[in-house]
Amino acid sequence: MTTLAAQTETKADTGTVSDFFELLKPRVMTLVVFTGVAGIVLAPGGIGFTGDALHPFLAFVAVLCIAIGAGAAGAINMWYERDIDAVMSRTQKRPLPQGRIDPDEAVSFGAVLTVLAVFLMGVALNWVAAALLAFASFFYVFVYTVWLKRRTPQNIVIGGAAGAFPPMIGWAAVTGHVSPESIMLFALIFLWTPPHFWSLALYKNADYKKAGIPMLPVVAGARATRQQILLYSIILTPFVFAPYFMHLCGMVYLAGAGVLQALFIFSAVRVRLDRGFKSAKVMFGYSIFYLFGLFALMMIGKV
């Protein structure tokens, strides 16, 4: 660990249940689980008791594995980033910077849960879904957290792929394979991630600068970041409508997605024109609702 870690790390007692639960990044996990559920529902067969449908109990196991896998990766991420978390106002009160959990316990907790989630997914569902879950965890921990985040302003562009796997994993849990439709769902989240995180990085720029994280606003400035947010928001548009044209969803989705995307681009335009950070804060909050809304509409409007 870095010198910064040595300066901020303190002797920790054994954490409480709530401390370990916080290591799992429950707020992030909620969105991950929701998109994973969408992948299961949208897959051919879906959830049910007959035919090719996935039995509800197995669907529950699949969702549980996605949740545990995502939470475990979050725990390892917190272990590795405890030095920078200690100096950022947004993360200073996490269990590791506060010394409420021993670092060795945190990383062991994450590693054991990762193995458990992957093994259970493979045994209960299929090994394609398990392999995707394992790769998503590997990508988040080693590619994003260890390799990219502290080295390049493109960290969130490439590393954001880790958060895009859940619907693909859910789809594979039902079908046992990857399809163009599940890749499209992956691409939708992948392209949503940069404007989502860059809007946060705009108004938390001082935090990232203090921690030495080369987020785009730190390296390229606020103006370039606002331009990139708008650009990615526009590029996202065909992927938003793809579920309809790929016959996953009907008119209910098409109409609702049109409204959500129009508001998303409108939010990006406001960020582009705003010299302050109020619009960035609004867009960050809306971007979470937006993704929930899109995947909820997909499930409601499934053909």
Q: Where are the beta strands (DSSP E) in 63-136?
A: none
> b/e map of 209-233 (b: 16 or more CB within 10 Å)?
eebebbbbbbeeebeebbebbbebb
**Res 255: pLDDT:** 96
Q: What would the mean pLDDT of 100-129 be, rounded to a whole number?
A: 96
The CATH code for residues 180-303 is 1.20.120
The tally of CA atoms less than 13 A away on the side-chain side of residue 64 is: 15
Q: Would you say residue 50 has pLDDT above 80?
A: no
Q: Would you say residue 109 has pLDDT above 50?
A: yes
CA distance 169 to 189: 13
CA distance 152 to 103: 26
The ranges of the chain annotated as CATH 1.20.120 are: 180-303
CA distance 86 to 124: 39
- Assigned CATH class of 15-178: mainly alpha
Give residue for tokens 């996953």. Answer: 248
pLDDT tens-digit readout, 16-40 = 999 999 999 998 889 999 999 999 9
pLDDT classification of 3: cutoffs 50, 70, 90: very low
| Average pLDDT of the residues of the chain | 92
Q: What would the mean pLDDT of 127-142 be, rounded to a whole number?
A: 96
Cα-based angle 116, 118, 119 (whole degrees, multiple of 5): 65
Contacts of 165 (CB under 8 A, 6+ apart): 132, 133, 135, 136, 139, 186
| Burial class of residue 111 (count of CB atoms within 10 Å of its CB; 0-12, 13-18, 19+) | middle
The strand pairing partners of 47, in sequence order, are 54
**Res 13: pLDDT:** 57
Question: Would you state the structure tokens that stand for residue 181, as one six-digit string?
Answer: 């439709």
The ranges of the chain annotated as CATH 1.10.357.140 are: 15-178
**Res 175: pLDDT:** 95
Distances (CA, A) of 76 to 138, 158, 181: 11, 19, 31
**Res 276: pLDDT:** 87
| Burial class of residue 195 (count of CB atoms within 10 Å of its CB; 0-12, 13-18, 19+) | buried
**Res 90: pLDDT:** 86
pLDDT tens-digit readout, 160-206 = 899 999 999 999 999 999 999 999 999 999 999 999 999 999 999 99
Query: Which candidate, 285, 151, 147, 283, places its Cα nearest to that of 219?
Result: 151
Question: Would you state the structure tokens that stand for residue 71, as one six-digit string?
Answer: 């939470």
Q: Would you say residue 46 has pLDDT above 90?
A: no
- What's 125-182 look like in SS3? CCHHHHHHHHHHHHHHHHHHHHHHCCCCCCHHHHHHHHHHCHHHHHHHHHHCCCCHHH
DSSP letter, residue 42: H
pLDDT tens-digit readout, 243-278 = 999 999 999 999 999 999 999 999 999 999 998 899
Q: What would the mean pLDDT of 127-156 be, rounded to a whole number?
A: 94
Least confident of 2-6, 212-216, 250-254: 2-6
Contact (CB, 8 A) for 96 and 148: no
- 126 φψ region: left (φ > 0), alpha (ψ -120 to 50), beta (else): beta
**Res 268: pLDDT:** 97
pLDDT classification of 4: cutoffs 50, 70, 90: very low
CA distance 249 to 267: 25
Query: Which candidate, 160, 168, 215, 216, places its Cα nearest to that of 193?
Result: 160
**Res 5: pLDDT:** 43
